[in-house]
Structure 1
């Protein structure tokens, strides 16, 4: 503590009434002070105001805008710098992370501070729908945006922002918007299962936004995404046979299983927050009575079967009895699964055993259902 007090220099700069502190701040920053891009943008905006305007503008306009992104009791804070970047890329122009401030200055040079904060506040509201889906204006959109969160595609936020603006401006109907967001789901999920690289997404999605044609938003966007490699059913079904879905990404696995369950059309709402992902063939086969039963059921190649199929879609389901199920033998697991009221588990009623053959069969059935839910849309070449 004493070393910090003795060696940490403190500089106080006093300005006269006719000096703009924001201009002095920018001059100092040009000499090497490392700050967030959002701090530099704020400073730039205030430099456009006279000294007598700054306090009022801050209280009435700027602070209410920035406070939208702050942490609340219900939500974590949202990064302002990332918002500025996605805001600028929404029309398809790529912005490097170290160029956010300079690009912002260039692209907003014709706007007054008031015009700018009004536009930022408007797009900020749309952006927060993406980050906080529960704040979206209707339930269908909330569900669609929440699903995108499970896919963890932050690189597509500028594209989604573009689409939300088009809907809010009445250029897209709600049905068209939902179809477009679902298509984005399909593109990302199919590529995930087929092992396609995500490395280029940081360029793919801004270009996708630029590719949109005003008179055919959905068709033009889907045509572009298809040109970037949208796996067809043959590739999807082939890859899912040997895909360790749970091991690769638990959030995407949850999205798939929940969506498969929702397709049954429950009369009463399902409490999904009470369900967890369950491995039918357990994650651990021990050297005990339960383990011996599993080894006998799986056969001489039980180790290979366990390694190959453990995390496959066909071996996964949803249950509220995860602790009780544990590593129990299949007969006991089946009884508990049938009590869970999860429609996915109705499959096990007719299963007398759980072997490589039955896991493969269920894997194929679920894969075909997955392909029918997340389709590749037909688009004009």
Structure 2
């Protein structure tokens, strides 16, 4: 085998084709990997635009083996390893080409297409420079060919849509040189090691050896070995007295994190965690031969390790004020604040600032994180901001003032009081951040009442409760009807209010509260130990006016708890962040789907009218034509710019796979709700815990409640559902139930190995609303259904049954079909369940 470092452009140019063998997995990169790659690209773009000297960014290796050679034809290469990054970059170039077409750069379109994507003078399959596995080929070719269905619901389509969105958003914020620089970076500044096997090599054996290696040395292991190689005389003593105690107190993961943080706090803020060893080696190399200096470095690292322990275990911090804010940040979760917190503890221990000043500085950090979450500010670049902080803080000011001034920088997006108040009124807080972070904010708001007998939150089992229910009974809608605006339905008003902070509280009685009328909820909340619940219980009714008034009261508490930036107000001329959310949501929509102005308004915390106005003024936004009226019609106010050669919106949607009836209404099954849009954006929009499977298995009381509800609401489906559940048990599964008043039902299968539990369930059955949800959203993260083809096969088999019509575009979501289908097609559903169990069993045999 031979190896050479090469740019991506040089790798793919020429009459050649890269074929991904069938024994490789389908394309599997998700949003996290794509974001990391794009952040690296954007960093190189920024450096290039600033005129910095740049070295190519190393992406990894691609292992190739020669394929069949035909006289005068294409040189074929089998991709033994590296297909994920190779496919990803090809998809980035398809998105770049289509972006150039969008902005009218036809020469750029031609250049990218012919230089990177295709063999111009070849036909049929030889035309494509990359041939993915057969399962991915159709989706990939749709992107290369710019077909209407490009950007579907599989991983190929999701990656294409990701890059389309990233390029469109970059165009909004960058100058005219930005897109040209992106092309330069992708072609010439991404470095790949091309490893080429010889003819006759056993390609599959090479693949096996690459992908079945043992656990390698960590970055901290490599550093330790290097350092003690430079300490031949005192290495054993330094190891026993300094390194080993540090290693034992921190553990492997935290030790590696410390070694990275050590570099960041020293000002090397661009260091990636994969580059720790190389960067530390570069820093320590000049000390080779000076064992005193090396011992001093390890002593400093060990001291910093003890400070780091005070961050991850705040109980070790001696200062009460500093300990309290470190505990709050630990409760918040994540590691974003670590570099700045460690820097502040360095200052405290050096006597450069006081514990109280450092505590105030960390309060600003807490406020910055909380306000951004409430306002749903994108987290892009957040880690970089905190990595830059130790180097960028002004040193001639008190630490707290320096931190506040730093975080108040214009491009660091610390929401003002005005933005915070508006977000609390209108944003769907229930979809913000992670569940523990939402509970943390509500807990802090409750604590701000300063009750004489505070609740012990560590022991209390509290969950977030919607006062206005997510699935309200008819009497709730009767009340909301009095407060609707002209042309607004009670359901639309409900959707705009239900997930806002003004409608949410904490309770230990979630199951009891359910979707009862407000009078019944009042009786339960009156016995609560939480002051915020007593305040809700004192209201006479619960509708728009009460929810908005409570939101304003909570907003004032939030402003007092979490101080804002120095400016205190939103900078003039700055775009409202909701429009960036809107653009991201449109890009996230797979081809073959549509949504409504109301759904988008609910998602971003706006109103359908301004959403319609914005889209009407910006019809060329990626996916703008997919936003329709509540009836599923093209809005009369939406039209392309004069002179545009684009198809009429309905024709374009039809070509993507959206079905319309004779009256011009889009098929409702293909509509994406606000919750589904939020899910596609990566927000935590799972059903409440009370709706999802309970771990303890079958419960006789819950089972009887489910049967009673099903018989009472859908008697014609009753026997069919029970027959299917009995069939499931006969296949080795069991049934479990939810805790909500509508007692949901889940056929569960433990497909775990002897070493690890692995629960699977294909559907959730809701006996009051009469829906059967197919839980693709959950299956996507569970083997073997993390393979798109397996989820697509489940969808195909279900869709063969009369009455079931699940859109392929929802393979990442939880589409549903009516429970009445069980009335006549229970046997056919059992056949699908039998297939599901068989696929899971084969996967279990492979893993065990």
Question: Do structure 1's residue 322 and structure 2's residue 504 form an aligned pair?
Answer: no
Structure 2 CA distance for aligned equivalents of residues 130 and 198 of structure 1: 22
Question: Do structure 1's residue 229 and structure 2's residue 404 form an aligned pair?
Answer: no
CA gap of 1:137–1:283, structure 2 versus 1, over 3 A, is farther
2:250 aligned residue (47, 56, 69): 69
Shift of 1:142: 2.9
Q: Which residue of 2 aligns with 1:239?
A: 423
Shift of 1:271: 0.9
Q: Which residue of 1 aligns with 2:241?
A: 60
CA gap of 1:239–1:348, structure 2 versus 1, over 3 A, is closer
Structure 1 CA distance for aligned equivalents of residues 335 and 301 of structure 2: 19
Higher Rg of the two aligned structures: 2
Structure 2 CA distance for aligned equivalents of residues 379 and 210 of structure 1: 23
CA gap of 1:134–1:231, structure 2 versus 1, over 3 A, is same
1:254 aligned residue (439, 461, 465): 439
Structure 2 CA distance for aligned equivalents of residues 57 and 90 of structure 1: 24
Q: Would you say the 8 A contact 2:424–2:502 is kept in 1?
A: no
Shift of 1:211: 2.1
Shift of 1:100: 0.9
> Does the residue aligned with 2:336 lie in a helix, a strand or coil?
helix
Q: Which residue of 1 aligns with 2:372?
A: 191
Matching of residues 1-381 of structure 1 within 5 Å: 34-50=216-232, 53-70=234-251, 78-94=253-269, 95-109=271-285, 110=287, 112-216=293-397, 217-227=399-409, 228-249=412-433, 250-273=435-458, 274=460, 275-285=462-472, 291-299=473-481, 301-378=489-566
Shift of 1:242: 2.1
Q: Which moved more, 1:309-318 or 1:195-204?
A: 195-204
TM-score between the two structures when normalised by the length of structure 2: 0.38
CA gap of 1:213–1:61, structure 2 versus 1, over 3 A, is same
Shift of 1:164: 1.3
Structure 1 CA distance for aligned equivalents of residues 532 and 427 of structure 2: 20
Shift of 1:265: 1.8
Shift of 1:239: 2.7
Structure 2 CA distance for aligned equivalents of residues 379 and 245 of structure 1: 25
Shift of 1:184: 1.1
Structure 2 CA distance for aligned equivalents of residues 306 and 364 of structure 1: 18
Structure 1 CA distance for aligned equivalents of residues 466 and 284 of structure 2: 53
CA gap of 1:266–1:169, structure 2 versus 1, over 3 A, is farther
Over residues 85-140 of structure 1, what are the superposed CA-to-partner deviations in whole Å (9 max), with x where a residue is unaligned?
11211133211233211211233444644323322221112112222223322443
Shift of 1:283: 2.9
Structure 1 CA distance for aligned equivalents of residues 359 and 296 of structure 2: 31
Q: Would you say the 8 A contact 2:455–2:529 is kept in 1?
A: no
Structure 2 CA distance for aligned equivalents of residues 104 and 333 of structure 1: 60
Shift of 1:42: 1.0
Structure 1 CA distance for aligned equivalents of residues 423 and 450 of structure 2: 28
Shift of 1:45: 1.5
Q: Would you say the 8 A contact 1:223–1:379 is kept in 2?
A: no
Q: Which residue of 2 aligns with 1:29?
A: none
Q: Would you say the 8 A contact 1:65–1:117 is kept in 2?
A: no
CA gap of 1:307–1:277, structure 2 versus 1, over 3 A, is same
Structure 2 CA distance for aligned equivalents of residues 163 and 154 of structure 1: 15
Shift of 1:61: 2.8
Which runs of no fewer than 5 residues in structure 1 stay unpaired?
Answer: 1-32, 71-76, 286-290
Structure 1 CA distance for aligned equivalents of residues 521 and 566 of structure 2: 42
Structure 1 CA distance for aligned equivalents of residues 481 and 437 of structure 2: 31
Over residues 175-197 of structure 1, what are the superposed CA-to-partner deviations in whole Å (9 max), with x where a residue is unaligned?
21111111111222222333333
Q: Which moved more, 1:307-316 or 1:195-204?
A: 195-204
Which runs of no fewer than 5 residues in structure 2 stay unpaired?
Answer: 1-214, 483-488, 569-848
Structure 2 CA distance for aligned equivalents of residues 87 and 325 of structure 1: 50
CA gap of 1:168–1:336, structure 2 versus 1, over 3 A, is farther
Over residues 239-286 of structure 1, what are the superposed CA-to-partner deviations in whole Å (9 max), with x where a residue is unaligned?
33221112222233222211111112233342113033222122333x
Q: Which residue of 1 aligns with 2:101?
A: none
Q: Which moved more, 1:350-359 or 1:320-329?
A: 320-329
CA gap of 1:186–1:78, structure 2 versus 1, over 3 A, is same
> Does the residue aligned with 1:205 lie in a helix, a strand or coil?
helix
Shift of 1:370: 0.9
Shift of 1:161: 0.3
Work out the number of aligned pairs and report it: 336
Structure 2 CA distance for aligned equivalents of residues 265 and 223 of structure 1: 30
Structure 2 CA distance for aligned equivalents of residues 81 and 92 of structure 1: 18
Q: Would you say the 8 A contact 2:415–2:565 is kept in 1?
A: no
Structure 2 CA distance for aligned equivalents of residues 298 and 119 of structure 1: 63
CA gap of 1:103–1:151, structure 2 versus 1, over 3 A, is same
Shift of 1:150: 4.3
Structure 2 CA distance for aligned equivalents of residues 324 and 78 of structure 1: 42
Structure 2 CA distance for aligned equivalents of residues 57 and 280 of structure 1: 61
> Does the residue aligned with 1:299 lie in a helix, a strand or coil?
helix
Q: Would you say the 8 A contact 2:364–2:562 is kept in 1?
A: yes
Q: Would you say the 8 A contact 1:211–1:220 is kept in 2?
A: no
Shift of 1:355: 0.9
TM-score between the two structures when normalised by the length of structure 1: 0.80
Structure 2 CA distance for aligned equivalents of residues 233 and 69 of structure 1: 39
